[in-house]
Chains A and B, each alone.
Chain A
Amino acid sequence: MQDILQKLCEAFGPSGREAILAAQVAEIMRPWCDDVSIDALWNVIGVKQGAAPEPRPRLMLMAHMDEISMMVTAIEGPFLRFRQRFYDPRLLVGQTVLVYGREPIIGVVGDRPPHLMDAAERQHMPRIDDLVIDTGLDAETLATWVQVGDSVLVQRPMLQLLGQRVAGKAFDNRLSLTAVLSTLEALQSVQHPGDVIVVASVGEEMNLLGAQTATFGLRPDLAVVLDVTFGKQPGSPTTGTFKLGSGPVIGVGPNLHPCITDKLLDLCDSLEIPHEQELLPANSGTDAWMVQVTAGGVPTGLVGMAIRNMHSPVEVADLRDLRRTVRLLTAFATAADQAFVDDLAYRLPDFAEVTA
Chain B
Amino acid sequence: MKTLIPKLVDAIGPSGFEEAIRELIRKETAAWADETWTDTMGNLYVRKAGDGSGKRVMVAAHMDEIGVIVAQVEDNGFLRFANIGTLAPKTLLGARVRFANGAVGVISHDGGARAEIIGSKLPDLHRWYIDVGATGKDDLPVQVGDVGVFAHPFVDLGRRVIVGGADNRVGCAVAIESLRRLQNSSHDVIMVFTVQEEIGNRGARVAAYQLHPDLALAIDITPTGDAPKSELTMAVDLGKGPAIPVADTRMISHPRVRQALVDVARQHDIPHQVFVLTLGGTDASAIEPARSGVMTANLMVPCRYVHTPSELVDWQDVEDSVRLLTAFLQSDLSQVGG
Contact = CB atoms under 8 A, between A and B. Distances in A.
Direct touch of chains A and B (CB < 8 A): yes
A50 B234 CA distance: 51
B251 A206 contact: yes
Contacts of B253: 16
A71 B235 CA distance: 13
Given A74-B233, A203-B252, A217-B292, 11 more contacts: A16-B252, A17-B255, A40-B293, A40-B337, A41-B254, A74-B225, A74-B235, A83-B276, A149-B246, A207-B285, A212-B289
Contacts of A71: 246-247, 276
Given A39-B293, A72-B276, A149 B251 contact: no
B293 A129 contact: no
B247 A16 contact: yes
Interface string A187-206: 00000000000000001001
User: For the complex, would chain B's binding face be called helix, strand, loop or mixed by DSSP majority?
Assistant: loop
Contact of A73 (B250, B276, B288, B295): B276
B278 interface: yes
B236 to A, nearest CB: 9
A19 interface: yes
Contact of B251 (A207, A213, A216): A207
Interface of A: 15-17, 19, 39-41, 43, 71-75, 81, 83, 129, 147-149, 203, 206-207, 209-210, 212-214, 216-217
User: For the complex, would chain A's binding face be called helix, strand, loop or mixed by DSSP majority?
Assistant: mixed
B255 A209 contact: no
Contact of A209 (B234, B247, B278, B289): B289
Contacts of B153: none
Contacts of A40: 292-295, 337-338
Nearest to A148: B235
Nearest 10 CB-CB pairings of A with B: A16-B252, A149-B246, A213-B293, A217-B292, A41-B293, A212-B289, A73-B276, A148-B235, A73-B233, A40-B338
Interface of B: 225, 231, 233-235, 246-247, 250-255, 274-276, 278, 285, 288-289, 291-295, 337-338
Contacts of B233: 73-74, 81, 83, 129
B292 A216 contact: yes
B255 A73 contact: no
Nearest to A75: B235
9 contacts: A16-B254, A40-B292, A41-B293, A41-B295, A73-B276, A75-B235, A83-B233, A148-B275, A216-B291
Most A-side CB within 10 Å, residue of B233, B247, B275, B293: B293
Contacts of A216: 291-292
A148 B274 contact: yes
Contact of B255 (A19, A74, A207, A214): A19
A206 B252 contact: yes
A149 B295 contact: no
B256 to A, nearest CB: 9
A72 B247 CA distance: 11
Nearest to A208: B289
B252 A17 contact: yes
A39 B274 contact: no
A263 B234 CA distance: 50
Nearest to A16: B252
Contacts of A207: 250-251, 285, 289
Contact of B291 (A83, A147, A209, A213): A213
Most A-side CB within 10 Å, residue of B247, B250, B255: B247
A39 B292 contact: yes
A109 B288 CA distance: 33
A203 B255 CA distance: 13
B220 to A, nearest CB: 18
A43 B289 CA distance: 12
